[in-house]
Amino acid sequence: MASVEIPMPDDWHVHLRDDDMLAAVVEHTARWFRYGMVMPNLRPPVQTTAQADAYRRRILNRVPAALSHFQPQMTLFVSHDLDLDDLGRGIEAGIVRAVKFYPPGATTNSDQAKGDLGEFDELFGRLVEWNTQLLVHAESTRSDVDLFDREAAFLDDHLAAVCARHPKLGVTLEHVSTAAGVEFVRSNPNVVASITPHHLSRERADLLAFGMKPDLYCKPVLNTAADRDALVEAAVSGDGQFFLGTDSAPHPTTAKYGPNVAAGVFNAPYGLEVVAEVFHQQEALEELGKFVSLNGAAVYGVPPSVDQLRLTRREAQDTIPERLRTSSGEEVVFFGVEEARLWHIEAVA
Ligand code: DOR
Ligand code: ZN
């Protein structure tokens, strides 16, 4: 049976939510991940060091004692309300790890964002001084841009100019979803990209062609098979500019199954198995540790975990959990059940 040992991975992009959803989902990220880069798109968004610190404590309060290796890494939501002195203090104190830019209206709760990427030059100058990464949701919201071209348009219209004006600014192109995005990263040495398990393993036909699947609807939307292939190629290449960020984004079935489908794939439970299966299919399992454990840690300036996991392919299991229920009775569907049936993960003693 195929098998690989890797340092405990990090999830460099995750939505943990709050209250009873946080309580229900956090153990799924904490089970196999050391760090989680926690997105700030709550309502209201996480915008001050005090809010980040309080959110971090709420998260840690919900992590089961047996999973105390898990350490949330906090981010602040970019807007004109962001106080740069407060941000500087948060970074200095080790409470804030990065900032996240959302184009207004691009995705869940980003109606709260205000301002174009090009309006934050003062912030970007300070991020360079503080050696702190800018995390970018790269999607154009121009009404004349086709849905499937939104990432490429954002790179052309906004990110290219910011990278040219701030050549030392470290930028993470979050959940890169297209060949154009991969190409942009390769031609900009200070830009890196996170890639999700769903963008690596699915394409738009999976979403739309065999009965529309709300559980696969996310932003940026799954794109063409050729785009997915470019992402797979980047991930398995071992290139240090590409690493795992799951973008695990739980929504209750009441928000997923209806006339207005909420964007987000809940892949925290089985995201690692999905990525392992992609690497296995590419005969690249020996590169898995770079993508999920080493490359991102190097970008964010931390040593890899000293803990090790072993992943072993197995005969398909037929009974594994497929959804969870929150304390208020909401259900959330797990992504990647098919792949998870094929993999056993264990800590190496
Ligand atoms: O699909 C997504 N869901 N994309 C995002 O950028 C946000 C996320 C969420 O918070 O639900
Ligand atoms: Zn996200």
Residues 6+ apart with CB under 8 A from 101: 78, 113, 117, 120, 134, 135, 136, 137
pLDDT in tens, 112-159: 888 899 999 999 999 999 999 999 999 999 999 999 999 999 999 999
pLDDT in tens, 234-282: 999 999 999 999 999 999 999 999 999 999 999 999 999 999 999 999 9
Mean pLDDT of the chain: 97
Which residue out of 239, 247, 307, 318 is catalytically annotated?
Answer: 247
Q: What share of the chain in percent tops pLDDT 90?
A: 96
Ligand lying closest to the C-alpha of residue 250: 1
pLDDT of residue 107: 84
Q: Please tell me the distance between residue 219's alpha carbon and the centre of ligand 2 in angstroms.
A: 8
Give the 3-state DSSP-derived string for 241-280, with helices as H, strands as E and coil as C. Answer: CEEECCCECCCCHHHHCCCCCCCCECCCCCHHHHHHHHHH
Residues 6+ apart with CB under 8 A from 260: none
The span from the first CA to the last CA of the chain, in angstroms, equals 20
Burial degree of 233 (CB within 10 A; 0-12, 13-18, 19+):
middle
Contact 191, 217 (CB under 8 A): no
Query: Cα–Cα distance between 103 and 14 in angstroms, integer?
Result: 18
Q: Please tell me the distance between residue 13's alpha carbon and the centre of ligand 2 in angstroms.
A: 6
Query: Cα–Cα distance between 318 and 156 in angstroms, integer?
Result: 46
pLDDT of residue 113: 84
CB neighbours of residue 301 within 10 Å? 11
**β-sheet with 343-348: strand ranges across:** 3-7, 308-313, 343-348
pLDDT in tens, 167-198: 999 999 999 999 999 999 999 999 999 999 99
| Domains of the chain with CATH codes | 9-306 (3.20.20.140)
> What phi, psi does 43 have (nearest 5°)?
-115, 115
pLDDT of residue 114: 83
Helix (H) or strand (E) holding 298: helix 295-299
Burial degree of 226 (CB within 10 A; 0-12, 13-18, 19+):
exposed
pLDDT in tens, 290-313: 999 999 999 999 999 999 999 999
Contact 283, 49 (CB under 8 A): no
Atom of ligand 1 nearest to the CA of 217: 1
Judged against a pLDDT cut of 90, whether residue 44 lies above it is answered with yes
Atom of ligand 1 nearest to the CA of 250: 11
Q: Please tell me the distance between residue 286's alpha carbon and the centre of ligand 1 in angstroms.
A: 30
54-66 burial, b for 16+ CB within 10 Å, e for fewer?
ebbeebeebbeee
For ligand 1, which residues put their CB under 6 angstroms from it? 15, 41, 107-108, 137, 218-219, 249, 263-264
Query: Cα–Cα distance between 134 and 119 in angstroms, integer?
Result: 14
Atom of ligand 1 nearest to the CA of 15: 10
CB neighbours of residue 238 within 10 Å? 16
* pTM, two decimal places: 0.98
pLDDT of residue 349: 86
